[in-house]
C-alpha cells in the first residue's frame, strides 16, 4: 500500500509494510559490531477491546500505549496515521467495540549484535542453526526483522520457518527449525510427551560440587518484574504449599578453576528462567547474570543495567564474551542511510529511544537436543573455556 505524505517538508511517497512483507538483505545496516534495521513504515492493526469502547481515539492511545506523548497521537489522528475501519476520523471520535484500528508508524527496531546466524545442519524438512545471544527467535514486541526467522529469510531466502522450541533472547546455542507445519507438529508432540532431552552449558560462580545436583523446586514467574523465584513449602507439615509451577533441572560439573565452573544443565521441565533461577537456588548463579546474582556480587551491576532489565527497557545488547561494544548516544550520524520522518518520535536516531547503555549476552548456551531417533548439536562458545 502506498500513501503520499501530507507533511509540507517532504512530499515523498511512503510504502507501508505489513507482516506479509518479507525482510530483505538491504533492510539491515551494520555499524561497529551492531546490526540495525533500516526504519520502515508499518501498519499496526488491532481490534478494539470491550474496555476501549466509549473512549475517544486519542484517549485510547494515550491510556493504552504510553510509549509516545499524547501530542503525537493528536497529530497522528489529524494526519490520518491513526484510522478506524480504514477511515480517517476526527480527534473526538469515540471508539466502538471490535472496530479495526490501524496505526501507521515509522518503525525503528531494536538493534542486536551483528553476529552471523550460522547454519549447522540442513535436511529437507529440518534446519538447525547456532543462535547468537541478543537476537530473538521470532517476531515479538518491537522485533520483527531483527530476529532469527527474519535474518534467515532475508539472508538465506528460507521461508516458511517453524521454530520448534525457543531460546530466550539473551541465550545462545542450538535452535531447531522445521521447514513445514507437519514436521513442526511431530517435534512438538515429542516434546510434549517428554521424549526430548535438552542440554545446556552455563558458566557459574564458584566451584560447583563434583556430584550431580538436582534442583526439584517449584518456580513462580512474575511477569511484571520479568523475574522468576523458587517457592518451597512453608513448614515441615507440608501445609501452605508453593503456588509456583513444578520444575526440575539436573546439573553436572564439567570443569572448574575454583572461582568459576562450567556446568552441564539438563532441564526436565521448561519454565521461564528455569536454569537461571535453579542455579541461583543452588548457590551458583550464572556468572554474568545480573538478574539472579546474589547481593554479594552487586559490584558488577555498577557496570550497567542487567541484561533482563535493559531488555525490558530497551532490548539493546552491548557486551558479550568479554567484548564490549558501545552504541553511540545519538545515531543521527547514520541518518543518511534512511529517510527522516518529521512525525516520528525516534528520528533522527537509527535505534529507538532508550537503546543505550551496556549489556551482556548470558553465559548460557544450548548444546544438544535429542529425541527418539534424532540428535542435533551445537559447538561450545568461547566462554566455555576457563583458561
CATH, residue 232: 3.30.2350.10
Number of domains in the chain: 1
Dist. CA 172–CA 62, nearest whole Å: 37
pLDDT digits (tens, 9 = 90+) for 8-34: 344 557 888 888 889 999 999 998 889
Which cell numbers hold the place of 77?
A: 489522528
The reply to whether 237 falls in a domain is: yes
Please state, as a whole number, how many other Cβ atoms lie within 10 Å of the Cβ of residue 303. Answer: 13
The reply to whether 202 falls in a domain is: yes
In this predicted structure, the answer to whether residue 364 has a pLDDT above a threshold of 90 is yes
In this predicted structure, the answer to whether residue 320 has a pLDDT above a threshold of 80 is no
Residue 15: what pLDDT?
83
Residue 295: what pLDDT?
53
pLDDT digits (tens, 9 = 90+) for 256-303: 999 999 999 999 999 999 999 999 999 999 999 999 996 544 333 333
Residue 234: what pLDDT?
57
Q: Are 20 and 28 in contact (CB under 8 A)?
A: no
Q: Which residues pair with 205 in a beta bridge?
A: 260
The reply to whether 298 falls in a domain is: yes
Instruction: Tell me which residues are annotated as active site.
Output: 168
Question: 337: pLDDT confidence band, cut at 50, 70 and 90?
Answer: confident
The reply to whether 58 falls in a domain is: no
Q: Are 126 and 179 in contact (CB under 8 A)?
A: yes
> For all residues of the chain together, what is the average pLDDT?
85
Question: Where in the sequence is the domain holding 129, given as residue range(s)?
Answer: 116-387
Which cell numbers hold the place of 94?
A: 469515540
The reply to whether 82 falls in a domain is: no
Average pLDDT over residues 64-90: 95
The reply to whether 316 falls in a domain is: yes
The reply to whether 65 falls in a domain is: no
In this predicted structure, the answer to whether residue 137 has a pLDDT above a threshold of 90 is yes
* CA-derived radius of gyration, the chain: 23
The reply to whether 204 falls in a domain is: yes
Comparison of pLDDT for 166 and 261, the residue scoring more? 261
Q: β-pairing, 172-178 with 364-370?
A: parallel
Three-state SS at 153 = helix
Q: What percent of the chain has pLDDT over 90?
A: 71
Q: For 241-251, b where at least 16 C-beta lie within 10 A, e where not — what string?
A: ebebbebbbbb
Amino acid at each position: 500500500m502506498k500513501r503520499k505524505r501530507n507533511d509540507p517538508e517532504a512530499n515523498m511517497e511512503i510504502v507501508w509494510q505489513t507482516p506479509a512483507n518479507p525482510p530483505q538483505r538491504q533492510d539491515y545496516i551494520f555499524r561497529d559490531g551492531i546490526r540495525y534495521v533500516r526504519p520502515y513504515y508499518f501498519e499496526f492493526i488491532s481490534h478494539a477491546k470491550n474496555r476501549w469502547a466509549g473512549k475517544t481515539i486519542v484517549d485510547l492511545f494515550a491510556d493504552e500505549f504510553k510509549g509516545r506523548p499524547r501530542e503525537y497521537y493528536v497529530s497522528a489522528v489529524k494526519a490520518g496515521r491513526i484510522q478506524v475501519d480504514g477511515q480517517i476520523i476526527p480527534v473526538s471520535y469515540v471508539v466502538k467495540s471490535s472496530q479495526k484500528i490501524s496505526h501507521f508508524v515509522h518503525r525503528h527496531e531494536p538493534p542486536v549484535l551483528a553476529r552471523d546466524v550460522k547454519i549447522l545442519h540442513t535436511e529437507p524438512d529440518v534446519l538447525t542453526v547456532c543462535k547468537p545471544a541478543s537476537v530473538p527467535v521470532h517476531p515479538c514486541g518491537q522485533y520483527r526483522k531483527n530476529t532469527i526467522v527474519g535474518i534467515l529469510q532475508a539472508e538465506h531466502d528460507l521461508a516458511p520457518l517453524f521454530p520448534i522450541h525457543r531460546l530466550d533472547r539473551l541465550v545462545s546455542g542450538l535452535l531447531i527449525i522445521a521447514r513445514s507445519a507437519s514436521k513442526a507438529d511431530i517435534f512438538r508432540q515429542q516434546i510434549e510427551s517428554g521424549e526430548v532431552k535438552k542440554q545446556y552449558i552455563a558458566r557459574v560462580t564458584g566451584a560447583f560440587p563434583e556430584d550431580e545436583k538436582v534442583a526439584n523446586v517449584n518456580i513462580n514467574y512474575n511477569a511484571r518484574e520479568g523475574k522468576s523465584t523458587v517457592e518451597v513449602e512453608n513448614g515441615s507439615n507440608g501445609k501452605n504449599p508453593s503456588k509456583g509451577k513444578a520444575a526440575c533441572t539436573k546439573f553436572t560439573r564439567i570443569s572448574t578453576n575454583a572461582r568459576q565452573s562450567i556446568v552441564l544443565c539438563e532441564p526436565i521441565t521448561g519454565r521461564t528462567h528455569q536454569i537461571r533461577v535453579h542455579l541461583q537456588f543452588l548457590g551458583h548463579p550464572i556468572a554474568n547474570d545480573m538478574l539472579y546474582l546474589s547481593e554479594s556480587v552487586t559490584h558488577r551491576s555498577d557496570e550497567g543495567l542487567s541484561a533482563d532489565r535493559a531488555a525490558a527497557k530497551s532490548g539493546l545488547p552491548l557486551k558479550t564474551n568479554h567484548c564490549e561494544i558501545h552504541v553511540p548516544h545519538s545515531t543521527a550520524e547514520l541518518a543518511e542511510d534512511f529517510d527522516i520522518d518529521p512525525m516520528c518520535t525516534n528520528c533522527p536516531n537509527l535505534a529507538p529511544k532508550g537503546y543505550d547503555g551496556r549489556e551482556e549476552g548470558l553465559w548460557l548456551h544450548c548444546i544438544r537436543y535429542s529425541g527418539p531417533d534424532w540428535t542435533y548439536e551445537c559447538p561450545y562458545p568461547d566462554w566455555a573455556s576457563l583458561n
